[in-house]
Structure 1
Amino acid sequence: MKVFRTFDTQLQHNLLILFAAGLLFWASLSSLLPTLPLYLENVGASKQQIGVVMGSFAIGMLVFRPWLGQLADKRSRKLVLLIGILVEAIAPIGYELVTSIPLLMVLRAFHGISIAAFATGYMALIADLAPPKHRGEIIGYMTLVNPIGLAIGPALGGYLQAMVDYTAVFLLAAGLGALGALCVVPIVNPPVQTYQPAEIQSTNFWRILISPRVRVPALVMLVVGLAVGTLHTFAPLFIKSTEVDLNVGLFYTVAAISSFSGRVFIGRASDRFGRGLFVTIGLILYSVSMALMWLANDSTTFLIAALIEGAGGGTLIPMISTMMADRSFPQERGRIFAVCIAGFDLGIAIAGPVLGSFAEQVGYRNMFGITAGLTALGILIFVTKSSKDLVTSIRFAFGRAQDAYALNKI
Structure 2
Amino acid sequence: MLGSLRQLHWSIYALSLASGVIMTGFMLMLPILPEYAGQLRFNEFEIGLLVAAFFLGRVSFQFPLGAVSDQVGRKLIMTGSLLLFALATSAFVLTTDPWLMIALRLGQGIASAGFVVGFQSYVNDLTPTEFRGLAHGINSSAINAGVIVGPVIGGTLTQAYSIQAPFWVGGGLGAACFLLSLTIPDIPAARRKAAAARLTMREKLDSLLRPALTAPAASLSLIHFLQMMSLAILFTAAPILTAELLSWSATDIALALAAGGAAGAVSSPFLGRLADRRGARVWVMAAGLTIMALQSLIIFIHPGTAFTMLGFVIGGAGTPAYFNAFFSLVGDVTLKTERGAVSGFIGSSAEWGSILGSSLVAPLLWREVSVRAPMGVSVLILLTTVLVALAVRSLLQRRMDAVRKAESGQVA
TM-score bracket, shorter-length normalisation:
0.7 to 0.9
Which residue of the partner structure matches residue 183 of structure 1? 180
Which residue of the partner structure matches residue 371 of structure 1? 378
Structure-to-structure mapping, 1:232-271, within 5 angstroms: 232-233=235-236, 243-247=247-251, 248-271=253-276
Query: Which segment is superposed worse, 279-288 or 228-237?
Result: 228-237
Which residue of the partner structure matches residue 111 of structure 1? 108
How much has 1:49 moved relative to structure 2? 9.1
TM-score, normalising length: structure 2: 0.81
Cα distance in 2 for residues equivalent to 1:250 and 1:378: 28
Deviations 1:24-48 (A, max 9, x none): 11222233454446767887877x9
Q: Is the 8 A contact 2:26 2:170 kept in 1?
A: yes
Matched letter for residue 214 of structure 2: S
Q: Is the 8 A contact 1:246 1:299 kept in 2?
A: no
Cα distance in 1 for residues equivalent to 2:240 and 2:33: 11
Deviations 1:277-317 (A, max 9, x none): 01101111222222333344854355333323322221111
Distance 1:21 1:259, change over 3 A: same
Q: 2:320 aligns with which of 314, 331, 334?
A: 314
Which residue of the partner structure matches residue 304 of structure 1? 310
Q: Is the 8 A contact 1:85 1:178 kept in 2?
A: yes
Q: Is the 8 A contact 2:63 2:347 kept in 1?
A: no
Which residue of the partner structure matches residue 78 of structure 1? 75
Q: Is the 8 A contact 1:218 1:343 kept in 2?
A: yes
Q: Is the 8 A contact 1:80 1:121 kept in 2?
A: yes
Deviations 1:304-362 (A, max 9, x none): 33323322221111111100101111122111211122222111222332136426625
Which residue of the partner structure matches residue 352 of structure 2? 346
Q: Is the 8 A contact 1:60 1:113 kept in 2?
A: yes
SS at match of 1:186: coil
The answer to whether the aligner puts 1:121 opposite 2:118 as a matched pair is: yes
Matched letter for residue 143 of structure 2: N
Q: Is the 8 A contact 2:78 2:181 kept in 1?
A: yes
Cα distance in 1 for residues equivalent to 2:383 and 2:35: 30
Cα distance in 2 for residues equivalent to 1:28 and 1:309: 24
The answer to whether the aligner puts 1:282 opposite 2:288 as a matched pair is: yes
How much has 1:148 moved relative to structure 2? 2.1
Q: 2:394 aligns with which of 381, 387, 393?
A: 387
TM-score, normalising length: structure 1: 0.81
Matched letter for residue 248 of structure 2: V
Identity %: 20
Q: 2:148 aligns with which of 146, 151, 168?
A: 151
Distance 1:167 1:301, change over 3 A: farther
Matched letter for residue 152 of structure 2: A
How much has 1:222 moved relative to structure 2? 0.7
Q: Is the 8 A contact 1:230 1:351 kept in 2?
A: yes
Please say which structure displays the higher CA radius of gyration.
2
The answer to whether the aligner puts 1:2 opposite 2:3 as a matched pair is: yes
Distance 1:296 1:147, change over 3 A: same
